[in-house]
């Protein structure tokens, strides 16, 4: 084995992380092995362990992504959906980590914990700034709706929703987001 220079080490780390995201995304948490991730990159599993620790640690590192939601305080209620939906599309379509996490969260308690942490730390505090009352109910159903859209459109690829254009989906999702976050309490 040759000694790798620092620059190669950081490239290898990056390669391992993207291989891990692909594996976790396609196969879920339980079925992904460190050995398979290592093989994808052409390194030994021991190297993956040296860089990242256990599979759980690797997953946490691979799933360490940020959702860039703005503070919604003082935003015109009619603009809430229009501000949020493009951010959601960005997470769903441009960051394979989220779908990896979502797939894995349905079968793995570790992945479910990570998803809950992302929701609690990055999503809920921003959404709450838009809500006039009943934050638990509003944020809870909003989270369910967003996870449902991502699951049916990108994971199940259910034809009726997967074939809608972004514009069409935005048009139909906007009144729901409006109702849940800022609409009258039922």
By CB under 8 A, name the binding residues for another protein.
26-28, 30-31, 102-107, 112, 115-116, 119, 124, 134, 136-141, 143-149, 151-153, 155-161, 164, 168-169, 171-176, 179-180, 183, 186
Q: How far apart are CA 6 and CA 2, in angstroms?
A: 13
Q: Which CB sits closer to another protein, 54 or 134? A: 134
Residue whose CB is less far from another protein, 4 or 137: 137
CB 65 within 8 Å of CB 97: yes
**Minimum Å distance from CB 185 to another protein?**
8
Longest Cα–Cα distance of the chain, Å, equals 66
C-beta closer to another protein: residue 14 or 136: 136
Q: Reduced to 3 states, what is the DSSP secondary structure of residue 17?
A: helix
Q: Please list, residue by residue across 129-138, b when 16 or more beta carbons sit within 10 angstroms of its beta carbon and e when fewer do.
A: ebbeeeeeeb
User: DSSP secondary structure string, 131-179?
Assistant: -SS-HHHHHHHHHHHHHHHHIIIIIS--HHHHTS-HHHHHHHHHHHHHH
The CB-of-57 to another protein minimum distance in angstroms stands at: 21
Q: How far is CA 59 from CA 4, 108, 112, 114, 120, in A?
A: 24, 11, 11, 9, 18
Cβ closest to another protein, residue 39 vs residue 176: 176
Smallest separation, CB 21 to another protein (Å)? 14
**Residue placing its CB nearer to another protein in the complex, 65 or 154:** 154
Residue 31 CB, nearest distance to another protein (Å)? 6
CB of 102 to another protein, least distance (A): 7
């Amino acid at each position: 084995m040759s000694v790798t220079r620092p620059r190669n080490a950081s490239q290898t780390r990056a390669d391992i992380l993207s291989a891990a995201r692909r594996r976790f995304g396609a196969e879920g948490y339980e079925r992904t092995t460190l050995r398979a991730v290592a093989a994808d990159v052409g390194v030994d599993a021991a190297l993956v362990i040296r860089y990242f620790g256990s599979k759980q640690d690797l997953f946490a590192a691979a799933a360490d992504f940020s959702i860039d939601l703005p503070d919604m305080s003082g935003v015109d209620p009619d603009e809430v959906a229009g501000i949020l939906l493009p951010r959601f599309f960005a997470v769903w379509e441009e960051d394979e980590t989220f779908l990896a996490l979502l797939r894995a969260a349905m079968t793995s308690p570790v992945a479910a914990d990570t998803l809950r942490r992302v929701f609690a730390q990055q999503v809920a505090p921003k959404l709450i700034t838009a809500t006039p009352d009943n934050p638990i109910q509003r944020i809870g159903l909003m989270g369910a709706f967003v996870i449902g859209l991502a699951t049916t459109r990108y994971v199940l690829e259910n034809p009726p929703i997967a074939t809608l254009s972004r514009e069409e989906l935005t048009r139909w999702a906007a009144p729901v987001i409006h109702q849940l976050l800022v609409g009258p309490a039922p």
